[in-house]
Structure 1
Amino acid sequence: MIFTRRLRDGVRRGEITCSVRIWMRPHVKVGNRYCMEEGEVEVDSVLPITLADITPELARESGFKGVVDLLKVAKHGKGENVYLVRFHYVPPRSRVPAARGVPARRRG
Structure 2
Amino acid sequence: MLFRQHLHPGLADGSVTLAFRRWRRPTVKAGGTLRSPIGVLAIDAVDVVPAHTISDDDARRAGAADRAALLRELRAGENDEIHRIAFHHVGADPRTALREDGDLSPEQLDALRARLAQIDARSGRGAWTVATLELIRAHPGTRAGDLAARVQREKLRFKTDVRKLKELGLTESLGTGYRLSPRGEALMTAIDAG
Of Structure 1 and Structure 2, the greater strand share is in 1
Where 1:23 maps in the other structure, the secondary structure is: coil
2:89 corresponds to which residue? 89
Q: 1:55 to 1:11 in 2, by over 3 A?
A: same
Q: Which blocks of at least 5 consecutive residues in structure 1 are unaligned?
A: 101-108
Q: Which blocks of at least 5 consecutive residues in structure 2 are unaligned?
A: 100-165, 168-172, 174-194
Choose between structure 1 and 2 for higher RCO, CA contacts under 8 A separated by at least 6 residues.
1
- Number of positions where the alignment pairs a residue of Structure 1 with one of Structure 2: 96
Two-structure CA RMSD over aligned residues (Å): 2.3
Superposition misfits of 4+ residues, deviation over 6 angstroms: none
Return the alpha-carbon distance in structure 2 between the equivalents of residues 64 and 21 of structure 1.
Answer: 13
- Superposition deviation, residue 19 in structure 1: 1.0
TM-score of the superposed pair, with normalisation by structure 1: 0.75
- Superposition deviation, residue 31 in structure 1: 1.6
For each residue in 1:56-105, what CA deviation from the matched residue of structure 2 results, as whole angstroms up to 9, or x when unmatched? Answer: 12111211101232124336xxxx6411100011221434665x9xxxxx
1:27 corresponds to which residue? 27
Return the alpha-carbon distance in structure 2 between the equivalents of residues 12 and 38 of structure 1.
Answer: 6
Asked if the contact 1:25/1:81 (under 8 Å) is kept, the reply is no
Asked if the contact 1:23/1:81 (under 8 Å) is kept, the reply is no
2:59 corresponds to which residue? 59
For each residue in 1:42-67, what CA deviation from the matched residue of structure 2 results, as whole angstroms up to 9, or x when unmatched? Answer: 10100110011112121112111012
Return the alpha-carbon distance in structure 1 between the equivalents of residues 46 and 98 of structure 2.
Answer: 27
Q: Which has the larger radius of gyration?
A: 2
Of Structure 1 and Structure 2, the greater helix share is in 2
